[in-house]
Amino acid sequence: AGSEDVEIRAEPVETADGTPIEVAANVGTEADLAPAADRGADGIGLFRTEFLFLDRQSPPDEDEQYEAYRDALGTFPEGRVVVRTLDVGGDKPIDYLDLPEEENPFLGERGIRRSLGPDADLFETQLRALLRAAGDGEGKLSVMLPLVSTVEEVREAREVLESVATDLEAAGVDYAVPEFGVMIETPAAAFLAPDLVEHVDFFSIGTNDLAQYVMAAERGNSRVSDLGDYRQPAVLRAIRATVEATEGTDVWVGMCGEMAGDPELTGLLVGLGLDELSMSAVTVPQVKRAVTETTVSDARDLAERALAASTKAEVEAVLTETTR
Ligand code: PEP
Ligand code: MG
């Protein structure tokens, strides 16, 4: 069905048997905010802040960032806005940041590695802007770190956040400490999920990078796109291991990679135990509808069968059986 014939639901949805699933939008530019609200997103599950830094000669200052984060919060006063700290490097270059020449940029200095290294000043400025925006009281702001692969990175980033809070306090500036989470998009993070869970309020699974790294198949390289697919059983098992680590804790777990926006997979993702799905605004209505049409018991059964598959073809067969 085309997206135009799907009803837009402005309110949060739950499965047919009453489990709420948050359906949020990914935004890449300021222009994405209004359409996200128009399509009925409950909030923003991934605010890619790179766009604030692109197409200019120097980084945005604290006030400019503060305004941008406030705009996002103002668009979703009832929802949650998950802002990812600057994720440059790999496939995301920014000229004035002087990124090193690397043989394998996807395995190099990118995401949180830069924020705790050469871009430490930018990281601090961004966190100041975020804590100030969180302090305005409108909406619910969450901060998320990209490309985490060790517990130390999370501890160190939190220390920076705490020192920023101390500085704002001392200066008498209004602020609040936002919810704090990490993207699970490296195999290391998926394996370490039971340890990382002690240090965060939430996980968000980035299947674009997770599939790339689990399968050692570069994203965007069409020669290996069949391999780097999120329907690969190894990717499904990495997702399940991540979700499992949150069970019995207060940590919520979402997904903000492309996989989350595929309405054919909504049942599977509910069955794998995800609490939140975040996607391009276009597919929000279809995914909301798919949530209301599934039950957790059917979804779990589906997930169990998909997790037992040993090939991508078997995963696909399990999926077609149930969507027919
Ligand atoms: C991901 O890797 O799945 C993700 C959501 O982040 P990005 O696509 O921006 O790398
Ligand atoms: Mg990513």
pLDDT category at 94 given cuts 50, 70, 90 is confident
Cα-Cα end-to-end distance for the chain: 14
Look up the pTM and report it: 0.96
Provide DSSP, 246-257: HTTSS-EEEE-S
Give φ, ψ of 14 to 5 degrees: -135, 165
Q: And the tokens for 108?
A: 């190099």
Name every protein residue with a CB atom under 6 angstroms from any ligand 1 atom. Answer: 46, 48, 185, 206-209, 256-257
Does position 92 have pLDDT exceeding 70, yes or no?
A: yes
Contact (CB, 8 A) for 97 and 113: no
Instruction: Convert the pLDDT of each residue in 260-303 to its tens digit.
Output: 999 999 999 999 999 999 999 999 999 999 999 999 999 999 99
Using CA atoms, how far apart are residues 27 and 30, in angstroms rounded to an integer? 7
Pocket test for ligand 1, best of 256, 262, 269, 279 (most atoms within 8 A of CB): 256
Q: How far is CA 4 from CA 39, 282, 307, in A?
A: 11, 10, 33
Active-site residue set: 256
Please provide residue 253's backbone torsions phi and psi, each rounded to the nearest 5 degrees.
-135, 130
Exposure string over 185-213, b if 16+ CB within 10 A, otherwise e: bbbbbbbbbeebbebbbbbbbbbbbbbbb
Binding residues for Mg(2+): 185, 209
**Using CA atoms, how far apart are residues 166 and 312, in angstroms rounded to an integer?**
50
Q: Provide the ipTM.
A: 0.99
203 C-alpha to ligand 1 centroid (Å): 13
| Burial environment of residue 1 by CB neighbours within 10 A (0 to 12, 13 to 18, 19 or more) | exposed
Residue 98 is predicted with a pLDDT of 84
Average pLDDT for 19-35: 96
User: For residue 246, how far is its CA from the centre of ligand 1 (angstroms)?
Assistant: 21
When pLDDT is cut at 50, 70 and 90, the band that residue 1 belongs to is very low
Backbone angles phi, psi at 166, to 5 degrees: -60, -40
As a whole-number percent, the residues of the chain with pLDDT over 90 amount to 91
